[in-house]
Chain A
Amino acid sequence: SAVISQKPSRDICQRGTSLTIQCQVDSQVTMMFWYRQQPGQSLTLIATANQGSEATYESGFVIDKFPISRPNLTFSTLTVSNMSPEDSSIYLCSISGRADGELFFGEGSRLTVL
């Protein structure tokens, strides 16, 4: 298994502000994935982050709203920009496990936008 640390674990933010979430992994990984989980809902993939290249965003997510950095093989950040109450969610960082179909997740960052 892997240890994935996310910061902050939770935050309350004001509308119009931006917040950066950090994800630190205890091993080097090629890809990191950022998911969003709105209250009581499923997980939706925001983007895939490769070290040394631009992140690949899923339909409905854009770089201006969710800029991602991937400066090295153990770290990534996701910024939620110009937040609105609709951005209130849990944001989860994940990496692939050894087994097919396996992802390891961080504990998530629970954002509440007022």
Chain B
Amino acid sequence: GQSLEQPSEVTAVEGAIVQINCTYQTSGFYGLSWYQQHDGGAPTFLSYNALDGLEETGRFSSFLSRSDSYGYLLLQELQMKDSASYFCAVRFPILTGGGNKLTFGTGTQLKVEL
């Protein structure tokens, strides 16, 4: 089966840098995505790594290493509004019609403190 493991909770202070890890036991996937979900809200897309290496999008960066079955989301200059749950997800191909079929990780609740 497919499994993506994340730490259940991470706490950091405002202005700091935090890394949320995602380790997986799956193969044959196209890439790794990251999503943010605030309490009571819908998940929103943050980033996607198709290839190994680092992708940077503003304060957020995401990394993938297929050889290590590992990825992470790096959040810099943390703000209180970054307090949310973060999910990694692997993208699998859909044989007909294309599109993104995603399997989500266990999720990490990030708490940003003053």
Q: Which residues of A contact B (CB under 8 A)?
A: 30-31, 33, 41-45, 48, 50, 92, 96-97, 99-108
Say whether B32 faces chain A, with CB atoms less than 8 Å apart: yes
Whether A101 pairs with B101 at a CB distance below 8 angstroms is no
Of all chain A residues, which has the CB nearest B89?
A: A101
Whether A45 pairs with B101 at a CB distance below 8 angstroms is yes
State the Cβ distance, A68 to closest chain B Cβ, in Å: 15
Chain A residues within 8 Å of B94, by CB: 31, 48
Per-residue A-contact encoding for B42-78, CB less than 8 Å = 1, 0 else: 1111001010000000000000000000000000000
In the assembly, what is the distance between CA of A33 and CA of B102, in Å? 10
Given contacts A48-B101, A107-B42, A108-B42, contact A102 B33 (CB under 8 A): yes
Whether B97 pairs with A100 at a CB distance below 8 angstroms is no
Given contacts A50-B97, A92-B42, A99-B45, contact A42 B33 (CB under 8 A): no
In the assembly, what is the distance between CA of A53 and CA of B87, in Å? 30
State the Cβ distance, B8 to closest chain A Cβ, in Å: 9
Given contacts A31-B94, A43-B87, A48-B94, contact A103 B107 (CB under 8 A): no
State the Cβ distance, B89 to closest chain A Cβ, in Å: 7
Of all chain A residues, which has the CB nearest B97?
A: A30
State the Cβ distance, B34 to closest chain A Cβ, in Å: 9
Given contacts A30-B97, A92-B42, A105-B42, contact A45 B33 (CB under 8 A): no
Of all chain A residues, which has the CB nearest B105?
A: A42
Whether B31 pairs with A101 at a CB distance below 8 angstroms is yes
Chain A residues within 8 Å of B101, by CB: 33, 45, 48
Say whether B28 faces chain A, with CB atoms less than 8 Å apart: no
Whether A103 pairs with B97 at a CB distance below 8 angstroms is no
Taking A33-B101, A103-B100 as given, write out 18 further A-B residue pairs in contact, using a Cβ cutoff of 8 Å, ordered by the A residue number: A42-B87, A44-B104, A45-B102, A92-B42, A97-B45, A97-B100, A99-B48, A100-B30, A100-B50, A101-B48, A101-B50, A101-B89, A101-B91, A102-B48, A104-B45, A105-B42, A105-B44, A107-B41
